[in-house]
Amino acid sequence: MARLVVIGGDAAGASAAGRAKRLDPDLDVVMFERGGHTSYAACGLPYLVAETVDDAQDLIARTPTEHRAAGLDVRMGHEVVGIDLEARRVEVRDLASDRTITEGFDDLVIATGASPIRPPLEGIDCSGILGIRSIPDADAIDAIIDDRHPERAVVVGGGYIGLEMAEALLERGLTVTMVEMQDAPMATLDADMGARVADAIRSLGVDLRLGTGVEGFEAADGWVTAVATGDGELPADLAVMGLGMRPNVALAADAGVPIGPSGAIATDARMATRVEGVWAAGDCVESLHRVSHRPVSIALGTHANKQGRVVGTNVAGGAARFPGVVGTAITRVGATEIARTGLNETEAAAAGFATVSALAEGHTRAFYYPGAEELAVKVVAERSTGRILGAQIVGGPEAGKRIDVLALAVWTGMGAEEFSMSDLSYAPPVAPVWETSMIAARLAAKAVAADPVQD
Ligand code: FAD
């Protein structure tokens, strides 16, 4: 019987394992997970800390028992510590017994995910400085709040996880300072849209320090007491790192599986690595950006699930392809929804595009209809063709998911002019007659027409 070994039991790994087994019931599928949970929604962790979600079990889509009932051989608390590509076997440590075993494979899926970035700053190893990635991480923050009753938290980094954690800590009654090195939070947006996010964060009561780098951590009796920044010392009883994720590629790299220019594992569209019979999916791989045509490392669950499914199909003899990404993402802080797709101005310039941008402000419903919320939509278009390269939205409830229609415009290479006259839905309680995205696209098209590129 052919054997598939899967390393990692969350979104990508469990999707791959489950799909392969469903399509080929005769396949022997062994899934190694070093932690204590499978198929958990890491995306829900900030809401667990905030107590919006009551119980960690609520975040689990499939337990090890359910995976086993579906025919998978799931080994929890087992860490793969080496891959021998020549002998086609993995070396695995059983963390409970500290025994090492080996397991042979015909196909191997590497789905080792990513880890929060922890720069080697002075004092970073003292207690009370946590990243968030797993249920135990959320439990640890929860336990600190319950047991030590911290009053002041510092969130390091103003990306979406930093934002979500800042709000969670506010919910738990802490005062929160957020430190961000850039001049605006949410570096995946242009600075003008990031400034709107800054206003939203501050309106919640977060002390937001922009243009401020963290230099180290002070501690007393081994516990963090302050975060040292270029802007002085910030008192802290708890610090949460939100500096982004780094793909877990050491295992693959040590085995000789090629790593791509973004620092994540390189695969083709079938999610096959450069090594025959070795596949990879999720946060540990890089994806093709459909606009810049460059490999990018974008750690999102939306990609991990799809890529896992593609791998599972292909291992079982199918012919699935992951079509790439356009960098669509969404989050919410307080009542403010923040979304983006495609390339922002900086990314577009780095990819060699000359661009025009247009900003429109409007409402989520007809302007007179109760509950209409303000939103701003920015469209970035290619100067020579008018093609929509990217878009960003910041606004009140119901604003954010409007990014999806723009994401499809970017995905298909639609022009701003065509988008501005496209057939989008309208009724006063749910939308204005002119969607703000259509107005932004029309303004972008106008800017293109007024400023044609002379090649
Ligand atoms: P992971 O979830 O990291 O799973 C990898 C698994 O492999 C882990 O369980 C790990 O223990 C295991 N593992 C690693 N190495 C080994 C080894 N050597 N041996 C055995 N097991 C190993 N994405 C979105 O799209 N939208 C969101 O709103 C969103 N919010 C998020 C909020 C937070 C706080 C976080 C942390 C992430 C969020 N994400 C979100 C990202 C999303 O959770 C990840 O993209 C997704 O979990 C990636 O799945 P994965 O299977 O590739 O990696």
Q: Tens digit of pLDDT per residue, the chain (455 long)?
A: 899 999 999 999 999 999 999 999 999 999 999 999 999 999 999 999 999 999 999 999 999 999 999 999 999 999 999 999 999 999 999 999 999 999 999 999 999 999 999 999 999 999 999 999 999 999 999 999 999 999 999 999 999 999 999 999 999 999 999 999 999 999 999 999 999 999 999 999 999 999 999 999 999 999 999 999 998 999 999 999 999 999 999 999 999 999 999 999 999 999 999 999 999 999 999 999 999 999 999 999 999 999 999 999 999 999 999 999 999 999 999 999 999 999 999 999 999 999 999 999 999 999 999 999 999 999 999 999 999 999 999 999 999 999 999 999 999 999 999 999 999 999 999 999 999 999 999 999 999 999 765 54
Distance 75 CA to ligand 1 centre (A): 18
Distance 209 CA to ligand 1 centre (A): 29
Taking the C-alpha atoms of residue 181 and residue 220, their distance in angstroms, rounded to an integer, is: 26
Distance 281 CA to ligand 1 centre (A): 11
The residue whose CA is least distant from atom 6 of ligand 1 is 8
How many CA within 13 A on the CB side of residue 383? 15
Please answer whether residues 394 and 361 qualify as being in contact, where contact means their C-beta atoms are separated by less than 8 angstroms. Answer: no
Taking Cα atoms as reference points, which of 276, 274, 275, 270 lies closest to residue 287? Answer: 270
Distance 26 CA to ligand 1 centre (A): 28
Distance 91 CA to ligand 1 centre (A): 22
- Ligand 1 binding pocket mutation candidate from 6, 19, 31, 34 (most atoms within 8 A of CB): 34
Catalytic residues: 43
- Ligand 1 binding pocket mutation candidate from 283, 305, 322, 338 (most atoms within 8 A of CB): 283
Taking Cα atoms as reference points, which of 273, 330, 323, 274 lies closest to residue 303? Answer: 323
Q: Which atom of ligand 1 is nearest to the CA of 282?
A: 52
Strands (E), 78-151: 78-84, 89-94, 99-104, 107-110, 114-116, 129-130
Residues with CB under 6 A from ligand 1: 7-13, 32-35, 42-43, 45-46, 79-80, 111-114, 132-133, 161, 248, 251, 282-283, 299-302, 304
The residue whose CA is least distant from atom 10 of ligand 1 is 8
The residue whose CA is least distant from atom 44 of ligand 1 is 301
Other residues' Cβ atoms within 10 Å of the Cβ of residue 262: 17
